[in-house]
Amino acid sequence: MFGQLEHELELHVPASEAWDLFGTLQIGKLVEKEMPQKFQKVELTEGDGGVGTILKLTFTPGVPGPASCKEKFTKIDNEKRIKESEVVEGGYLELGFTLFRIRFQVIEKGEDSSIIKSTIEYQVKEEDAANASLVSLQSVANIAQVAKNYLNRNKAAKEAK
C-alpha cells in the first residue's frame, strides 16, 4: 500500500535563505535544539551533509513508537531546492513499512517570500496496512514552523542592525 501526505507553509524570507537552512545539516541542529519534546538527539553518523549522509534521530522518551531511526539523504538538488531522505533503519521500518521518504522543497514565491513544501511518501506491507494510520504530517509541520520562527528571528535581527 502506497501513500503520500503533503504540507505547505509560507515563509517570509527569500527561497535562497530558506534553502540555506533546509538544504544543509543546519536544519537537524535546529530541530534538536528547538524540538526537545520530540527529538532527544540528532546525530551525524556518516557523511558531510551531501547525498549519502546518514543522521540518527533519537526520539525523546515517552514519544510513541520506536526509540530511534536512521535517515539517509537520497537526493539534494540545489537548483530546484529539493532534499529527500529515507528511513534506512528503525522507525517506521519496524512497523511494516518498506519505504518512508521525507521531502522538503523550498519554492520561490516572491522576492522576500517562499513556501516550504513537506511531503511524506510511504509504502507499507499489505499485512501491516493498518499502520498507515500512524503516518502524520505533524512532525514535518512542526519542523516547518520551527524553521519559520528561526528564519523570522534572523530576519528581524538583520533588520535591527
Q: What pLDDT digit, counting tens, does each position of 61-95 carry?
A: 998 888 999 999 999 999 999 999 999 999 999 99
**Given the residues 29, 41, 56, 83, the one annotated as active site:** 83
CB 137 within 8 A of CB 118: yes
pLDDT of residue 100: 98
Beta bridge partners of 41: 58
Which parts of the chain sit beneath pLDDT 50? none
pLDDT of residue 160: 78
83 part of the active site: yes
Q: What is the largest CA-CA distance in the chain?
A: 58
